[in-house]
Amino acid sequence: MRYRLVIFDWDGTLMDSAARIVACMQAAVHDIGWTPLSDAAVRDIIGLGLPEAIAKLCPGMTAEQREHLRERYAAHFVAAEREPLHFFDGVASGMMRLRGESSLQLAVATGKSRRGLDRIFTSTGSGEWFHASRTADETLSKPHPRMLEELLAETRLTPEEALMVGDTEYDMEMARALGMDRVAVTYGVHARERLARSEPVLMADTFSALMDWLYVDHHDAVRDTGPGTVGRSEIS
């Protein structure tokens, strides 16, 4: 293993949850009588902490309105959990394989709340995959690198020993702030072109492609992608 710690975003990276987040936020906005939001606008804030997401989506809201929206969103999301969400193809088997690496630690850095992450850990049995996790309500929201700094401190590792994997610009930028290697998965919420601006070491179109890259000889895998191309490697 090239890395001693791999840190994963959750929504849009491990779990196919974007459509539910969009639907619940739109329902919450309707509940409080706010201006309807487009799917694209809601998808754009996935990955941020909920207070930061609401502030970006609904500028001009009063503190009371923001709290009401937060409560309605949480209620819709909890109610929707009666219908299970699914991991992206290759995630469950890939994570179990990584968990078997004695020299490797795994972590989560997510915009979810601790309560929400713990619920999904319990319902899917995936909590056992990870050695550590940070949620947006425990620390500063992405793209601030604080949650990565805290995970590094907990695992006693340096940015050079770690890799961040995510599907949004927020994931890429918090890792870049620390000089940490980062992989952008392109099957999530932010467009390939937007992710490329953060200069990831890999653009992976599937989770299996990420796994292949982690397990090959990097001296052979990392290739020059030519003038003007951002990132060191692309695997589809």
Residue with tokens 């989770």: 207
Rounded to whole angstroms, how far apart are CA atoms 45 and 42?
6
Strand partners, 48: 46
Antiparallel, parallel or unpaired: β 181-185 and 202-204? parallel
Residue in the block written with tokens 């179109």? 205
Whether 16 is a known active-site residue: answer no
Pairing of strands 5-8, 105-110: parallel
Closest CA to 14 of 177, 168, 173, 131: 168
Q: Which of 11, 44, 167, 171 is catalytic?
A: 11
User: In Å, what is the CA distance from 149 to each residue of 146, 156, 213?
Assistant: 5, 10, 25
CA 171 to chain centre: 6
Q: Which of 9, 44, 167, 181 is catalytic?
A: 9
Query: Catalytic annotation on 9?
Result: yes
- Indicate which residues carry an active-site annotation: 9, 11
